[in-house]
Amino acid sequence: MNGIESGLPIENIPENFKAGFIAIVGKPNVGKSTLMNALVGEKLSIVSHKASTTRNRIFGILSGENYQLVYSDTPGLIKPAYELQKTMMHFVDTALEDADIILAVTDCLKPGTDPELLEVISASALPKVLVINKIDKSTQEEIEQKISDWKAVLPDAEILAVSAKEKFNLDGLMALVLEKTPLSPPYYPMDQITEQSERFVAAEMIREQVFANTEKEVPYSTAVLVDSFKDTDELLRISAILYVERNSQKAIILGHQGSTIKKIATRARMEMEKFFDKKVFLETFVKVEEDWKREKRKLKRFGYSSS
């Protein structure tokens, strides 16, 4: 790719311009999505206290005068139990294949190192930064212990303790990433912040509210498809279908007299209005699509195909 394709006239790209892909990987719930949003300064990836919320590879692009950092947020590392989870792990692999730098994220809530994470990153020769997140929740001793545990198993990695939520030490992290980013012209137009379509972003905002407002297997059985996205002068008209796997789940998402879906839609609409900076009219429908997360063909329809 050259500067013209990236939207910058080639003569305007400084010689010292740096650009690179940074894969954010780690176990579920360590704060990968929160970290990417904080690094990019935009809420691009949805966050939940429940594990395994992120299902795709989500791009977050941060451009400055002489750099462009393209972060990939990825699903948490798990042993896949069904087809959707296999695709999720495939997204992790492709993010790692494209990467210039690995940001391996862990937290300090439990002692020791994460064997799953270690296995994935030690196979790679790329520069690595091991990020110990959620230090707002731990003592100095716990943090020091964590650092020395990881030093012992990953002697080549830079190790940094941060809090994505409290935005603590993110400048330090950014400086470290930038130091390791190769010289390259930008890959994307300088004003682009993600690769996801507006439809995808809107669907994810609904899915985030499903995670926030329903329990147990329901959020894991829900896929959201935005089937219409119309930008008029005054407002965005968005229509979305929430697919669940069972009739019983449909009843849960709807809630008593439609109260749950109403809450989901209202909060999602508010998030959309913030993100798109425009008034949003949101229409939602709930449908049953049996066993969608176990069938390749259905996964493809819902945007979970990795090939």
Q: How far is the CB of 26 from ligand GDP (least distance, A)?
A: 6
- Name which of ligand GDP, Mg ion, none residue 56 binds, using a CB cut-off of 5 to 8 Å depending on partner kind: none
Binding residues for Mg ion, how many (CB under 5 A)? 3
State yes or no: residue 33 binds Mg ion (CB under 5 A).
Answer: yes
Residue 54 vs 209, nearer CB to Mg ion: 54
Residue 26 vs 186, nearer CB to ligand GDP: 26
At residue 273, the 3 state secondary structure works out as helix
- Name which of Mg ion, ligand GDP, none residue 60 binds, using a CB cut-off of 5 to 8 Å depending on partner kind: none
Among residue numbers 20 through 79, which ones bind ligand GDP (CB under 6 A)?
A: 26, 28-34, 47-49, 53-54, 76
Identify the burial level of 65 via C-beta atoms within 10 angstroms of its C-beta, where 0-12 means exposed, 13-18 middle and 19 or more buried: exposed
- Name which of Mg ion, ligand GDP, none residue 29 binds, using a CB cut-off of 5 to 8 Å depending on partner kind: ligand GDP
- Name which of ligand GDP, Mg ion, none residue 134 binds, using a CB cut-off of 5 to 8 Å depending on partner kind: ligand GDP
Residue 79 vs 297, nearer CB to ligand GDP: 79
User: Are residues 20 and 70 in contact, defined by beta-carbon separation less than 8 angstroms?
Assistant: yes
What x/- string results for residues 163 through 192 when contact with ligand GDP is judged by CB under 6 A? xxx---------------------------
Residue 63 vs 138, nearer CB to ligand GDP: 138
In degrees, rounded to 5, the angle at the alpha carbon of residue 29 between the alpha carbons of residues 194 and 96 is 50
Identify the burial level of 1 via C-beta atoms within 10 angstroms of its C-beta, where 0-12 means exposed, 13-18 middle and 19 or more buried: exposed
Tell me how far apart the alpha carbons of residues 121 and 154 are, in angstroms, rounded to a whole number: 9
**How many CB atoms lie under 10 A from the CB of residue 246?**
15
Which residues 6+ apart lie within 8 Å of 69 measured at CB?
19, 20, 22, 39, 61, 62, 63, 174, 177, 178, 181
Q: How far is the CB of 196 from ligand GDP (least distance, A)?
A: 15
DSSP 154-202: -TTSEEEE-BTTTTBSHHHHHHHHHHHSPB---SS-TT---SS-HHHHH
Q: How far is the CB of 108 from ligand GDP (least distance, A)?
A: 10
Residues for the chain: how many in total? Answer: 307
Tell me how far apart the alpha carbons of residues 33 and 155 are, in angstroms, rounded to a whole number: 26
Residue 24 vs 252, nearer CB to ligand GDP: 24
User: Are residues 205 and 225 in contact, defined by beta-carbon separation less than 8 angstroms?
Assistant: no
Q: How far is the CB of 204 from Mg ion (least distance, A)?
A: 11
User: Which segment (77-85, 132-140, 240-248, 294-302) binds ligand GDP by CB under 6 A?
Assistant: 132-140
Q: How far is the CB of 36 from ligand GDP (least distance, A)?
A: 8
Residue 102 DSSP one-character state: E
At residue 49, the 3 state secondary structure works out as coil
Among residue numbers 147 through 166, which ones bind ligand GDP (CB under 6 A)?
A: 163-165
Among residue numbers 48 through 67, which ones bind Mg ion (CB under 5 A)?
A: 54
Contact residues for ligand GDP, defined by CB under 6 A: 26, 28-34, 47-49, 53-54, 76, 133-134, 136-137, 163-165
Contact residues for Mg ion, defined by CB under 5 A: 32-33, 54
